[in-house]
Amino acid sequence: MIFFIDSANLDEIRTANDLGIIGGVTTNPTLISKELISGRNAILDHYQKICNIVPGDVSAEVISTKFKDIITEGHQLSEVNKKIVVKVPIIEDGLKAIDYFSKNNIKTNCTLVFSASQALLAAKSGATYVSPFMGRIDDWDKKTASSIQILADIKKIFKNYQYKTKILAASIRNQEHIIDCAKIGADVVTASFKLLSSLIKHPLTESGLKKFIQDYKRVN
């Protein structure tokens, strides 16, 4: 399973990349706005800076919702760097755009996915990635279907029909989500820097290391 960092902050991305644990980045308009970047050229330049840091794909989201506008914006994003993956919402014009991008060798990430049926449509349209939003699924209706069950359904469907679309689990809220994704066999998990960093820590590691250091000092 590959880790992506869900961030537009260059310092966070560099730190995570230096740890050797991430293979790419996912962004969205909200994350970009947090970096106080304004103006189309400045945003595109920021994406280039991100691409310069990480070895793998960088998801950059369109804000348009009409087919022709999505296509125009997607071309602008894809021309920034070959690592750019055009992030498109699962709407009718979005599916049409994903089909167009797929036929023109432009990578896509179908986002705002909340059901296996949506993921199936994205795969049939040729999406490179499909992003089920685990945390938001669990927030919406825990009684009907859990996010991990939906993820398992998507995994089974993709395997049944040998779709090449990769499952990129998003809206990750906790370590349990990450471990569940690993058990199911998600291709990619994207999470915040804070959550990725928390995977390193455990109270027994900290206490054990403290004791090792204390014991070493007593004999040296």
- Angle, CA 140 vertex, CA 94 and CA 133 arms, to 5°: 45
* Among 82, 83, 87, 143, the one annotated catalytic: 87
Q: Is 166 a catalytic residue?
A: no
Catalytic residues: 87
